Amino acid sequence: MTDSFPAFLDRRLETLAPEALRRHQWERLRALALAAVPANPFITAQWQWAGLAGPDDLRGWDDFRRLPLTRKSELVEDQAAHPPFGTNLSYPLERYVRVHQTSGTTGAPLRWLDTQESWEWWARCWGFVLRGAGLGPGDRVFFPFSFGLFVGFWAGFEGARALGALAIPGGGQDSAQRLAAMETLGATAVCCTPSYALHLAEVARERGVALERLGVRATVHAGEPGAGIPAVRARIEAAWGARAYDHAGMTEMGAYGFECAARAGLHVNEAEFIAEVIDPATGRPAEEGELVLSNLGRLGSPLLRYRTGDRVRVAREPCECGRSFLRLDGGILGRVDDMLIVRGVNVFPSALEGIVRRFAAVDEFVIEVYRRGELDEVRLLLEVTENAMPVVAAVQEAVRVDLGIRVEAVPVPGQSLPRYELKARRLVRRSSE
Ligand SMILES: [Zn+2]
């Protein structure tokens, strides 16, 4: 099977022994240092801060760990001070061929440039993701995505092509047209956010389209952590009659996480990224905490020791797929700063989603958070198809049993909550009740 894949997807990279993997990363890091220091003002400033004068001062992993952690706010400030692209550029502007930007969910959008080489690197990283989902030449991968400035599915589209699969663009279409295109063109896989997969399932149901007969055997999900939540995954798989795979990536970092056939959490692609997990408060190494990443192949605009803001837990047992890449148990558990403290209990919105999605009668939901005195209070708005009150009461009871907290849950009319093609915003903070 490996023979039909392009050479860059050499399976041996995924199964390297730990020392060989570190050596591979080290060689890539050296190459990055030579390209970015001293040509790249942003990276060079970080090296100077760490007391490293040039690439030759990088002698061992201790030197790497002296580099400062990079925060998103620094990137935003750098772009504000040097508009529009900031100073994290290793080459003259004319070397760059792609521009994308973040969704701006948490503040001003961040713009990011890629060179030919780093755009090919993106495709390569997505090749790992799609192959992890068992896809390859002969597959037809549909992208129900509007192909705007958000990088995720552009890169996935390129990844499908690089892998030798047929990439089908689904831009400029509404959901019904997308369902028809998938059927006509014989799509075998779909890449979209978990929310949009559920939305397409809703549209199919309304139109009497039997989704499970379309022939889609895998769905690959990015943009939100949902596919790593068992109840969300089960719901997508039941609707599509396909296996759902989680994926994690960021505009400023790259496509770093993917699931294999075992679907035992996210693998971090350590052939292309260095992963660290730290205690977000102290910065010390931790088994559960904030994921810190460095990318090794985006030489034109690299990021070293970047605080992703994602909370993860390291799985230590080897994966049955044989990959030696780091595995994150349960995928992305939530955003470090999204954690709610409800009556003294730490609660991630993803935990609430995991409960709500177990109830088939709930089509959509919103988590409202507001302050009552000094406390966070949560109210769940549930869009329930029929028999609302018993369902609402059952959700409340499940939250109480599973998480040990009491939340208010209220039914809202069908189709009254927003649907999303990209990142869903189901957590709403209200200033007061
Ligand atoms: Zn695996």
pTM of the model: 0.87
Looking at residue 8, its pLDDT comes to 62
- H/E run at residue 307: strand 306-315
Looking at residue 338, its pLDDT comes to 78
For residue 378, list its beta bridge partners.
369
Q: How far is the CA of 337 from the centre of ligand 1 (A)?
A: 28
Q: 4 C-alpha to center of ligand 1: Å?
A: 21
Distance 149 CA to ligand 1 centre (A): 31
Upstream peptide bond of 38 is cis (omega within 30 degrees of 0)? yes
Q: Which pLDDT value is given to residue 106? A: 61
For residue 132, report the distance from its CA to the centre of ligand 1, in Å.
8
Tokens of 293: 């990443």
Q: What is the 89 CA–ligand 1 centroid distance (Å)? A: 34
204 closest CA partner among 228, 174, 171, 248: 174
CB 383 within 8 A of CB 415: yes
pLDDT at 57: 93
Distance 283 CA to ligand 1 centre (A): 28
The per-residue pLDDT for 2 is: 43
The pLDDT, as a whole number, for residue 5 is 60
Q: Residue 274's closest CA among 28, 40, 56?
A: 28
CA 321 to centroid of ligand 1, rounded, Å: 4
Over the chain (433 residues), the average pLDDT of each successive run of 10 is 57 91 96 95 95 92 95 94 97 98 78 97 96 96 93 94 96 95 97 93 94 95 82 95 96 97 96 96 93 97 96 95 95 84 81 91 91 82 89 94 90 88 80 64
The helix-helix angle for 194-207 and 230-240 (nearest 10°) equals 40
pLDDT at 3: 45
